[in-house]
Amino acid sequence: MKVRKAVIPAAGLGTRFLPATKALAKEMLPIIDKPTIQYIVEEAKKSGIEDILVVTGKGKRPIEDHFDSVPELEQNLKDKGKTDLLKLVEQTTDINLYFIRQSHPRGLGDAVLMAKDFVGDEPFVVMLGDDIMEDKVPLTKQLMQRYEDTHASTLAVMKVPHQEVNKYGVIDPAAQTKPGLYDVKRFVEKPDVDKAPSDLAIIGRYLLTPEIFQMLETQKPGAGNEVQLTDAIDRLNKIQRVFAHEFKGDRFDVGYKFGYLKTSIEFGLRHPEVKDELRAYIKDLSKKIK
């Protein structure tokens, strides 16, 4: 069956960016001029996803507004002949987005369970908003291509520094069935550094079969006392194969301050409007702060 649907959990409180996220959804924090969630939606679109469900919570209305049309603004830009800006604004409405509110966030697994009726009986992808991924073929598309072959759930993983494995879901890999595609013995959420089965971390893109919902419905809270998607996937792996696909592209983790800053600088160095000035500024600054 074709993969057509994506779920973007966006109910988190964004505590790592307080006080900025007190009244502002963290998914709306911009990298230069584009909210982080738009990068995720664009990856979905480029991958051929047709329908997206965003799981939101309190204070997340600006996300809905961002992807809606704004007739007054559009008319204003038209009148002033600002066609480039008009195009940028119009692009954000060209996608089928659905929203559901999670009133009591109980973890990622619980957020994904909110998508049960939207997903129905189809395979689907889950895309987390903290990671912007870049590669020739979008990562979500890479997972979809794997699915065409295996018809099985497949998660994206990437090698991370060993001291950081306790921030992630980690896999215990078995043999590679194909280059870059692992059979998995076990999925562990946030293991202790000295107990982690590998340095291959789950990085926020999942292609899942609908049977995951049976697991989520009975999933007990795990690490951090939250209902963990990783734990449900580990149980799914016991009744049907779940694979891990190793991502070799670039990952920008915008979910913590330093990652957000690094991404802003790197994307700024590519942005036609600011790249030359920013390059000169960084050179100047590095001389000053020797």
Residue 135, φ and ψ in degrees, nearest 5: -165, 170
Closest approach, Cβ 131 to ligand G1P, in A, equals 6
* Strand spans (E) along 136-193: 153-159, 169-178, 181-189
Q: In this complex, which beta carbon is closest to ligand G1P, that of residue 77 or of residue 216?
A: 216
β-strands 181-189, 242-246 pairing = antiparallel
CA-closest candidate to residue 102, choices 40, 54, 35:
54
Q: Which of 27, 43, 110, 189 binds ligand G1P (CB under 6 A)?
A: 189
Least distance to ligand G1P, CB of residue 22, Å: 20
Chain residues 193-232 in contact with ligand G1P, contact rule CB under 6 A: 201-204, 228-230
C-beta closer to ligand G1P: residue 44 or 77? 44
Nearer Cβ to ligand G1P (108/207): 108
**Burial tier of 208 (Cβ tally within 10 Å: 0-12, 13-18, 19+):** buried
Is 54 a binder of ligand G1P (CB under 6 A)? no
State the nearest-atom distance from the C-beta of 85 to ligand G1P, in Å.
33
Q: What is the closest distance, in whole angstroms, from the C-beta atom of residue 34 to ligand G1P in the complex? A: 20
Closest to ligand G1P by CB, 53 or 155: 155
How many residues of this chain bind ligand G1P (CB under 6 A)? 14
Pick 97 or 229: Cβ nearer ligand G1P: 229
Contact with ligand G1P (CB under 6 A): which of 108, 184, 232, 242? 108
Q: Left, alpha or beta for 37 (phi > 0: left; psi -120 to 50: alpha)? A: alpha
Please identify, using beta-carbon distances, which residue of 256 and 281 lies nearer to ligand G1P.
256
| Site residues (CB under 6 A) for ligand G1P, limited to 147-176 | 168-169
Do the Cβ atoms of 31 and 149 come closer than 8 Å? no
229-288 residues in contact with ligand G1P (CB under 6 A) are: 229-230
* Cis peptide, bond prior to residue 19, ω within 30 of zero: yes
Identify which of 18, 10, 81, 8 has the alpha carbon closest to the alpha carbon of residue 257. Answer: 18
Say whether 7 sits in a helix, a strand or coil.
strand
Indicate the pairing of strand 153-159 with strand 242-246. parallel
Residue 27 or 130: which CB sits closer to ligand G1P? 130
Cβ atoms 138, 46 nearer than 8 A: yes
Amino acid at 193: V
Q: Would you give the binding string for ligand G1P spanning residues 111-150, x where CB under 6 A is met?
A: -----------------x-xx-------------------
Positions touching ligand G1P (CB under 6 A) are 108, 128, 130-131, 168-169, 189, 201-204, 228-230
